[in-house]
Amino acid sequence: MTVWNIFRRSFGESLRRYPLVLIMWMGNLIFALSAMMPLYAFVKNQFGHSLTVDSMLEKFNMYWVSDLAFMLRDVQPLLWWPMISALLLFLVLQIFFNAAVLGSLNAWLEKDSLSSFFENGGRLFGRFFKLFLIFLPLYLIALLVLPALVDSVSSGYVERAVNEWPGQIVFLIKTGVMILAFTIVNMVADYAKIAAVQNDRIGAVRALLTGGRFLFRTFFRAWALYWLLVIFFLIVSVAYMETENLITANSAALIVVVFLLQQIYMLCRYWIKVQFYQAQMEFFQANHLI
């Protein structure tokens, strides 16, 4: 099966698995809502009776932003740890969700339900968490070590520069290297997870090796599929941003419209995530079994 065909099939199949998308989106929405509620209550308390609220309907007004920043100046340092803790908690939740989604996609004959979703998540969570720990250093290498390496290799070139361009070119190369390395690590991690789902008996390390071996044989096609999905995501994102850019939410009705648009975009993000897994799983099945 060609990469394009897999992409097309996964498009339709992931739409059919909309309950998975809805559960992930709900998880994200509820978590984000809970995280921002204290701030919302604070802002409502401080601004609810003020005429300043009217300026919040303008495109941008710096007065109230400055007021808010000034009000929060003393508590900002206190917010860091709760924020980091919340992010870590969501990360763990997302590992569970990934396990649940991939487990559900693998059991394609079963009907998606909340109980099957959580059952799959619970069954696979341990191995997915181990895979997360295994891949964490690789992500750090991709995001921190490799850019630092590019910096050190190019420092002489940048030092000798007579204008800004060498520095800017190095910045773009660094960003490119970071993105490429990240996508590769991300792709390997995805196939390791798929391998773990496909074979209940193998542990995290064997799943990693299986995924790695698979990619060794099919790297460029797998990468092409990965980028096809990334490009699809970028197209959806640009379409959203262009649409949102057209609307100035200065009335209650338009605020609701923009909110709905934002949530549709979030649904699309999770749909594409499911499609990502669906496509890669199909690609794995099509090439691994043969």
Partner 1 sequence: MKQLYITLIFFLGIGLSIALAAPPDVVQYKIDVRLDTSSQMLYGKEILTWHNLSNDRVKDIYLHLYWNAFKNEESAYLSESAESQGRSNHSGHLDEIEDAGWIRLKQVTLSDGRSLKEAMQYVTPDLPRRPGDQTVLRIDLPEVVQPGGSVRLHIDFEAKIPKAIARAGYYNNNYFISQWFPKPGVYQAGKGWNCHAYHYFSEFFADFADFDVRITVPQDFVVGASGVNTERVVNDTAGTVTYRYQQNHIHDFAWTAGQRFIKKERLFNPDSLISEDEYRHYASLFNLPLDSVRLTPVKLILLIRPEHENQIERHFQATEQSVKYLGLWFGRYPYPTLTVVDPPYRTGSSGMEYPTLVTAATRPIIAEEGWIPDGVIAHEFAHNYWYGMAANNEFEEAWLDEGITTYSEDKVMQAMHGKTKMIVTFGPFPISRYFDQIRYSSWERARSSALHIVETDPVVTPSWQFYDIYSYFLNVYERTALNLFTLERLLGKDTMLRVLRTFQSRYRYRHPTTQDFIGIVNEVSGRDMRWFFDEFFYGDRLFDYGVGSLVSHKIVPPIGVFDSDSGMVVVSRDSLEGRTEPDSLTRYKTIVRVRRYGQARPGGDVRIKLLVAFADSTTETRYWDGRKRWQEFRFETAARAVYAQVDPDTLFLLDANLANNSYRTETKSAGINRWAGKFLFWLQNLLTIITLIS
Cβ proximity to partner 1, 52 vs 116, nearer residue: 52
Distance between CA atoms of 115 and 124, rounded to whole angstroms?
14
Task: Tell me, residue by residue from 96 to 115, as one string, x for binding to partner 1 by CB under 8 A and - for no binding.
Answer: --x-----------------
Considering only residues 156 through 195, tell me which ones interact with partner 1, judged by CB under 8 A.
160-165, 168, 171-172, 175, 182, 186
94 binds partner 1 (CB under 8 A): yes
Contacts of partner 1 in 33-62 (CB under 8 A): 33, 35-36, 39-40, 43-44, 46-57, 59-62
Residues numbered 9-38 forming contacts with partner 1, rule: CB under 8 A: 28-29, 31-33, 35-36
Interaction of residue 223 with partner 1, rule CB under 8 A: no
- Which of 19, 183, 23 has the alpha carbon at shortest distance from 93? 23
Residue 54 or 110 with smaller CB distance to partner 1: 54
Q: Which is nearer to partner 1, 1 or 84 (CB)?
A: 84
Question: In the structure encoding, which two tokens stand for residue 228, read together?
Answer: 């096809």
Residue 149 near partner 1 by CB under 8 A: no
Does residue 132 bind partner 1 (CB under 8 A)?
A: yes
Instruction: Select from 215, 223, 224, 221 the least CA-distant residue to 194.
Output: 215
Q: In whole angstroms, what is the distance from residue 213 CA to residue 4 CA?
A: 23
- Least Cβ distance, residue 62 to partner 1 (angstroms): 4
Is 64 a binding residue for partner 1 by CB under 8 A? The answer is yes
User: What is the H or E stretch that residue 9 is in?
Assistant: helix 3-16
With vertex at residue 182, the alpha carbon angle to CA 177 and CA 187, rounded to the nearest 5 degrees, is: 130
**Gap between the Cα atoms of 75 and 84, Å rounded:** 15
Q: Which is nearer to partner 1, 146 or 266 (CB)?
A: 266
**Smallest distance, partner 1 to C-beta of residue 271, A:** 12
CB-count exposure of residue 37 (10 Å: 0-12, 13-18, 19+): exposed
Least distance from partner 1 to the Cβ atom of residue 202, Å: 20
Window 254-273: residues binding partner 1 (CB under 8 A): 255, 258-259, 262, 265-266, 269-270, 273
Nearer to partner 1, 74 or 289 (CB): 74
CA dihedral 11, 13, 128, 119 (to 10 degrees): 150
Give the Cα separation of 1 and 113 in Å (integer): 30
Q: How far is the CB of 217 from partner 1 (least distance, A)?
A: 25
Beta strands, E only, 162-255: none
113, amino acid identity? S
The reply on whether position 152 binds partner 1 by CB under 8 A is no
Asked if 133 touches partner 1 (CB under 8 A), the answer is no
Residue type (1 letter), 76:
Q
CA–centroid distance for 9 within its chain:
22
